Structure formats: C-alpha cells, structure tokens
Amino acid sequence: MTTIKDGGQDVVYAAKMLVTTSRTNDSLALAGVMLILGSLSWTLPALAADRESAFRGRRLAEANCAPCHALAQFDGSENAEAPPFRHLGRRRPLATLRDEMLADLFLRHAVMPDFEPDRRQVDDIVTYIESIQE
C-alpha cells in the first residue's frame, strides 16, 4: 500500500514538476518572443527609413551620376575612368564620403558635374552607395 501510495505521490510530484517547468519554459519563450518583437519594433522602422533613403539616392544617382558611373550590381561604367558605385568602398573609406560630398568632392574632379546636393541628398546617395557595396 505504502509503496503504491508513494509511487502515486511521485507521479503527482513529477506531474507538478512538469507543469511548473513547462510554465517556466512558456514564460521564457514568451519573454523571448517579446524581446524579439521589441527589438524588431526598433529596427524595422530604421530599416524602412534606410530603404526609402537608398531608393531616393538611387533616383538622384540615375539623374546625375549615371552618365559616367555604373550604378547597379552588374553594369559597367559609361566612363571607363569613373569607378562603379559598388566598388567605391574598395578605393576609399565610405565613412567620410558624406562629408567629402558636402565639402568639395564634386569640385575636386573637374570631369564631374557641378552638383551641389543638400545634406539630405548626400545622405540618400551615400546610403544607396553603401547598400550596393560588394
């Protein structure tokens, strides 16, 4: 009798353990999901903003840079001297490109057009250039 009873208690105990552990796992899983959702809600708008900026940058590049530079992933530059945008990061650090464009980059290269972009246009063009680096 006692053995059976003990056994029964053991089963109840084991079942309780199971419920408790699965509850703990559930809340851990829930915490994990909330953490992921939480970080997504931070990163998604940032990613969307980047995509829009890169899109505007691409449009600006098509209008102003395409006569010489290759803009996309597989094309060649119309002007053999002009580096494809996807390779710019190989020749120079991209981190300073925004500042240089706002300063005198377009004046330094005589062949490049007199293009006086504002801060946002520069930001968009560089975001686009960054997005296609190989």
Asked whether position 109 contacts ligand HEC by CB under 6 A, the answer is yes
Contact 127, 50 (CB under 8 A): yes
| Site map 51..90 versus ligand HEC, x via CB under 6 A | ----------x--xx-xxx---------x-xxx----x--
113 lies in the binding site for ligand HEC (CB under 6 A): yes
Distance CA 108, CA 93 (A): 17
Classify burial at 17, counting beta carbons within 10 Å of its beta carbon; exposed 0-12, middle 13-18, buried 19 or more: exposed
Enumerate binding residues for ligand HEC (CB under 6 A): 61, 64-65, 67-69, 79, 81-83, 88, 91-92, 97, 105, 109, 111-113, 115, 125
